[in-house]
Amino acid sequence: MINSTYDEVYGRWRDAPEGFWAEMAEAIHWYKKWDRVLDASRPPFYRWFTGGMVNSCYNALDRHVEHGRGNQSVLIYDSPVTGKIKAFSYRELLDEVARFAGVLVRQGLQKGDRVILYMPMMPEAVIAMLACARVGVIHSVVFGGFAAHELASRINDAQPKLIISASCGIEVDRVVPYKPLLDKGIEIASVKPERCIILQRPEEKASMIAGRDLDWSELMAEAKPVDCVPVAATDPLYILYTSGTTGMPKGIVRDNGGHLVALMWSMKNIYGVEPGEVFWTASDVGWVVGHSYIVYAPLFNGNTTILYEGKPVGTPDPGAFWRVISQHGVRVLFTAPTAFRAIKREDPTGDYMRKYDLSCFRTLFLAGERCDPDTLLWAEKQLGVPVIDHWWQTETGWPIGANCVGLGMLPVKPGSCTKPVPGYDVRALSDDGQELSGGQIGNIVIQLPLPPGCLPTLWNNDEAFQKSYLSHYSGYYLTADAGYKDDDGYLWIMSRTDDIINVAGHRLSTGAMEEVLASHPDVAECAVLGIADAIKGEIPLGLIVLKAGVRRPHDEIVTEVVQMVRERIGPVASFKVASVVKRLPKTRSGKILRGTVKKIADGVDYRVPLTIDDPAILDEIAADLAVLGYPGSLSKKPA
């Protein structure tokens, strides 16, 4: 028997959205209440809680210390790559943050100035983010290890007065020096920061440039704590850059007030987490998931958060996640399906899982890319807890579609992210703007205004904001995802819009085909992409990675998966070609680089993506494609 209040809460939002969000905003601390809940005076540029004054750091730390959580653990740093574990209480983290905020003030930074953080997964990254928020400085985190000219493009756009970095990051089997990348990025950039603050790690000591570079530890030894600075609810908290189609990064702006309200609401209502519980998001602070659910939301809600510097496999084995959950009493884990596919590939029978006491563990959430039903069902079977596939974007900053655990779970449909979260009116539209139903795949859009917490615009670029997201359909935000709503109102996000392929006039989802491939018992992970075809326009090509220990002939497995697609999707898919590969090319955040593989197969020019985890894999893929008769790697250009 399902006992869910989802329909009632969603209806309450639909009937009175401003009243709904005003009520939710009572859960946070305001220096001054808002004048207007929603300022709709300049559509499509809507603003939430105009006139209100808040501070995100105060709501993350000071408020909890003042209300008796000072001795509770707030941050557990767990680093299998260095062998270190360190816990901070709310009071200890507040002391560190207030002192580093004092460092920023002493360097002349003021409310509205920008700081770039180019940091590995260390407590100091969290300290720096919160210190910026404490004094109204806008932070922009750049994923540690990004190439120099990617860093330079962000420096040019954000124009930071200060860059905070570390001497190195640490991968499973190597140390990655950051300082040479930082120095090169600043050299390339046309805008130069006044100062750099460098955290020296024992694994790699960075050379310092006199007059520009300052040592983190030396500054903190002399630092004096400073209080929070009230900022407008509509003031930016951070800028987070995401790759744009023009090659220029798009600076997603996140405000203070709406972000606070939405993330605070999400912890209890979507994730079902109560204050004091341990919540772990296995991601990186360089991505939006890390901003929202490693740092801000857990702290707003009074939780203990885990900062994990490691991998799901290889640090040291496929039991890494289960060790963390067991050792630290994790109640809820949020990670990407890629992580679970990696674990499933290395430990398909779950032997490592059974080495640990997971009795504390309650719910697994997956997001970041589409979760194929086979991975979801495997995780559910092995863990014996609910596995929730949910969907959101860098631009929204918090979930769009989810099975809201805190409102009482709805029936799970593997492959669906369940229903729209209260605050979002999600629809599927045809190319000419007609609303689609009954499982017809269309362009997924959200009716304006977007709820609190979503991007109000792009940094210093209102025009690009409108062009990228709002110009396709009047009154709607374009997600650039393709999918449909079924007759029960469930959302099915199948792929990015550019992953819908046209086979002889039929619009087909590569995500649906991947779902079939992933259900094969020998397949650990897979990708399907559309390859140019002179007769049908496009035909699908499947790449599959096998589970560890599979010894069957590859051609047998390929024959089986081709037949499975034919049976489940039909001959219309024209799915006839697949290849077993050692691994798939991915970004550092785990997204498969389908577009790059397509260009290799089609024999067109491509650049090695700057976000790729390992560039050498593209040569491996090109060799595999050449065996199938596709052009290969002659068109490759450097990043």
Give just the sign of the alpha carbon dihedral 259, 263, 264, 269: positive
Q: Is the pLDDT of residue 507 over 70?
A: no
Angstrom distance (rounded) from CA 59 to CA 203:
35
Neighbouring C-beta atoms of residue 148, cutoff 10 Å: 18
Angstrom distance (rounded) from CA 241 to CA 481:
19
**Residue 634 confidence class, pLDDT cut points 50, 70, 90:** very low
Report strand pairing: 213-215 vs 47-50. Answer: unpaired
**Residue 639 confidence class, pLDDT cut points 50, 70, 90:** very low
What is the predicted pLDDT for the residue at 502?
67
pLDDT tens-place string over residues 413-462: 999 999 999 999 999 999 889 999 888 889 999 999 999 999 999 999 99
What is the predicted pLDDT for the residue at 436?
92
Angstrom distance (rounded) from CA 165 to CA 208:
12
Helices (H), 550-593: 554-568
DSSP symbol at 32? B
Domains 6-310+390-483 and 499-637 share a fold: no
What is the predicted pLDDT for the residue at 636?
53
- Could you say which of 1.10.3470.10, 2.40.340.10, 3.30.2350.10, 3.30.300.30 is the CATH number of the domain covering 499-637? 3.30.300.30
Please state which architecture CATH assigns to domain 6-310+390-483.
3-Layer(aba) Sandwich (3.40)
Angstrom distance (rounded) from CA 58 to CA 299:
10
Average pLDDT over residues 99-121: 97
pLDDT tens-place string over residues 214-227: 999 999 999 999 99
**Residue 523 confidence class, pLDDT cut points 50, 70, 90:** very high
What is the predicted pLDDT for the residue at 373?
87
Tokens of 162: 């200060």
Domain ranges of the chain: 6-310+390-483, 499-637
The C-alpha angle 243, 543, 242, rounded to 5 degrees, equals 10
Q: Is the pLDDT of residue 317 over 60?
A: yes
Could you give the 3-state DSSP secondary structure of residue 60? helix
Q: Give the phi and the psi of residue 542 in degrees, each rounded to 5.
A: -105, 135
Q: Are 36 and 42 in contact (CB under 8 A)?
A: no
Give CA 122 to chain center in angstroms: 18
What rounded mean pLDDT belongs to the chain? 92
Exposed/middle/buried for residue 549 (C-beta within 10 Å: 0-12, 13-18, 19+): exposed
Least confident of 79-83, 126-130, 321-325, 603-607: 603-607
Average pLDDT over residues 285-303: 96
pLDDT tens-place string over residues 27-74: 999 999 999 999 999 999 999 999 999 999 999 999 999 999 999 999
Q: Are 636 and 604 in contact (CB under 8 A)?
A: no
Average pLDDT over residues 247-273: 94
Average pLDDT over residues 367-382: 88
Task: State in Å, rounded, how far the first CA of the chain is from the last one.
Answer: 54
Average pLDDT over residues 511-528: 89
Average pLDDT over residues 316-330: 97
Average pLDDT over residues 354-376: 92
Tokens of 559: 């024959």
Average pLDDT over residues 79-88: 97
Could you tell me what percent of the chain has a pLDDT over 90? 74
Tokens of 504: 């002889």
Angstrom distance (rounded) from CA 54 to CA 568:
53
DSSP symbol at 436? -
Q: Which residues contact 159 (CB under 8 A, 6 or more apart)?
A: 114, 191
Average pLDDT over residues 486-490: 94
Angstrom distance (rounded) from CA 558 to CA 579:
7
